[in-house]
Amino acid sequence: MSQLLVNNVTLVFAFALVLVAMLISYREKLGLNKDILLSIFRAIVQLTLIGYVLKYIFKINNTFLTILMCLFIIFNAAWNAYKRNPNSNRNYWETFAALFISTTITLGIIMLTGSLKFIPSQVIPITGMIASNSMVAVGLCYRNLHSQFRDQRQQILEKLALGAPIKLAAITILRESIKTAMQPTIDSAKTMGLVSLPGMMSGLIFAGVDPVSAIRYQILVTFMLLSTTSLGAIIAGYLAYRRYFNDRQQLLDQN
């Protein structure tokens, strides 16, 4: 696998690619340079750390440590999705529930089928992959819900005034938000293989696996992402819409 080697000198040269992004940001006055540098810095530090942590965890292969690592990933994914919720009346543990349940159910099913074994080098990367997709979906769901609660405020009030319980008053926008959250996953599934050779598959092909075997993994991944994003968005949406109302079933003022 010597052709897979990326050494530090290569990385320094590849930094030129970041300079391209920074040059564009500078010329087009996008004001993104600080953000780009910070993101690069964070990526380098976080990945270096996680590289060593994973090496250690894989080596000692301890169940408790593996679970802890997965929880850490879910915890962080939930924190990021939570921060994307524009509603000031939000709750972290509801986001955590959405991420935790969507990720563990998907992982559980895959393990039941036997295609994933409970060993750190398999469980941890897959957890990261599905949790990050669920995180994006949940974040999208929150943002859409918020903008709809703002735009459709009058409609919700009219429904409440007619005596609708909050769920019935919000169901149209709730459905819309969940749909929006799942759409990117569905769209990317449609173009898979035609536009992109997705990460998992590319990685396997890179590592010398027969492309025909690699696609089987990719199909599995596609199933997992569909399941986890829909579960994540549904749980997050159904918990989040209630926070736009008070306990008297009145619509809260938006600030």
Q: Which residues bind other proteins (CB under 8 A)?
A: 152, 154-155, 157-165, 168, 172, 248-251
The residue ranges of DSSP E strands in 180-236, in sequence order, are none
Shortest distance, position 81 Cβ to other proteins, whole Å: 29
Residue 89 or 152: the one with the smaller Cβ distance to other proteins is 152
How far apart are the C-alpha atoms of 236 and 173, rounded to whole Å? 14
For residue 201, give the 3-state DSSP assignment. Answer: helix
CA-derived radius of gyration, the chain: 21
Residue number, 83 or 175, with CB nearest to other proteins? 175
Cα–Cα distance, 125 to 116 (Å, whole number): 11
Contacts with 53 (C-beta within 8 Å, 6 or more apart), sequence order: 69
Cβ at position 164, least distance to other proteins in Å: 5
Alpha-carbon gap, residue 153 to 20, rounded angstroms: 44
Alpha-carbon distances, residue 158 vs 77, 154, 161, 222, 225 (angstroms): 36, 6, 5, 41, 37
> What is the rounded distance in angstroms from the CA atom of residue 168 to the CA atom of residue 174?
10
67 vs 164, which CB is nearer to other proteins?
164
In whole angstroms, the minimum distance from the beta carbon of 10 to other proteins comes to 56
- Residue closer to other proteins, measured from CB, 27 or 248: 248
Nearer to other proteins, 164 or 219 (CB): 164
* Closest approach of other proteins to the CB of residue 159, in Å: 6
